[in-house]
Amino acid sequence: MMRLSHHLTDPLIRSNPVTLQILGICSALAVTTALATALTMAAALIFVLCASAAIISAIRRHIPQAIRLILQITIIATLVIVTDEVLRAYAFEISQRLSIFVGLIVTNCIVLGRAESFAMHHPVRASVLDALGNALGYGLVLVIVATIRELLGTGRLAGIPVLPLADQGGWFEPLRLMQLAPSAFFIIGLLVWAIRAARPEQIERPDHRLLLRQDGTWP
């Protein structure tokens, strides 16, 4: 069990799919203006990733090598359609706010990446744990970014007022920038910086360095 559990814990921070491997960012950022949409998106991804890993791992010995990608995409797309329809049926309002981004889980590189690189070569239990770990790592980044953006952008958290707004007699002036696209990029950039400050082994080494002349001027 000890050997299995690292599949679950590794992708949370140390090899987080979003901040280290640059996977799945496409959908990760657009839904982070509010905590509610981020949590729904994380739940949708956890379901799709775990279910696809379980199915693909279970039938991995029967998948012909030549058509494995198209088979994986078909399985993933089917699960995404099911998720999308369930959200539409039981949480219509939030599925409207998620707009096209639930559908875009199909092209989320984390899902296909884990299927191709892990679930195709490992038994079901390890694959599901690995999928759950990666999905939680993705969800963690989503929740952190969404918390910062919603709290500083509107003074609310999951729709509940937390900071008293200035125009209602409080002291907090909402930062409108936090609700716009650029802030998501800034927050992820700073998050990457924070993780790399804590784990210096992840710092990217430059291919080459510039050397100053002896007198300290640029060559």
Partner 1 sequence: MTEILFAAILTDNLALSFFLGICTFLAVSQRLSTALGLGIAVIVVQGVTVPVNALIHAVLLAPGALHWIGLPEIDLSFLRIIVFIGVIAAMVQLMELLLDRFVPALHRALGVFLPLITVNCAILGGSLFMVERRYDPLEAVVWGIGSGIGWALAIIAFAAIRERLRYADMPEGLRGLGGAFIVTGLMSLGFSGFGGLAQ
Rule CB under 8 A: which residues touch partner 1?
19, 22-30, 70, 73-74, 77-78, 80-81, 84-85, 99-100, 103-104, 106-109, 112, 180-186, 188-190, 192-194, 196-197, 200, 203-204, 206, 210
Closer of 58 and 181 to partner 1 (Cβ): 181
Q: How far is the CB of 15 from partner 1 (least distance, A)?
A: 14
CB of 161 to partner 1, least distance (A): 27
Residue number, 122 or 196, with CB nearest to partner 1: 196
Least Å from the CB of residue 63 to partner 1: 18
Nearer to partner 1, 39 or 73 (CB): 73
- Considering the complex, state which of residue 8 and residue 184 has its C-beta at the smaller distance from partner 1: 184
Q: Which is nearer to partner 1, 24 or 133 (CB)?
A: 24
> Least distance in Å: CB of 146 to partner 1?
13
Q: What is the 3-state secondary structure (H, E, C) of the chain?
A: CHHHHHHHHCCCCCCCCCCCCCCCHHHHHHCCCCHHHHHHHHHHHHHHHHHHHHHHHHCHHHCCHHHHHHHHHHHHHHHHHHHHHHHHHHCHHHHHHHHHHCHHHHHCHHHHHHHHHHHCCCCHHHHHHHHHHHHHHHHHHHHHHHHHHHHHHHCEECCEECCCEHHHCCCECCCHHHHCHHHHHHHHHHHHHHHHHHCHHHCCCCCCCCCCCCCCCCC
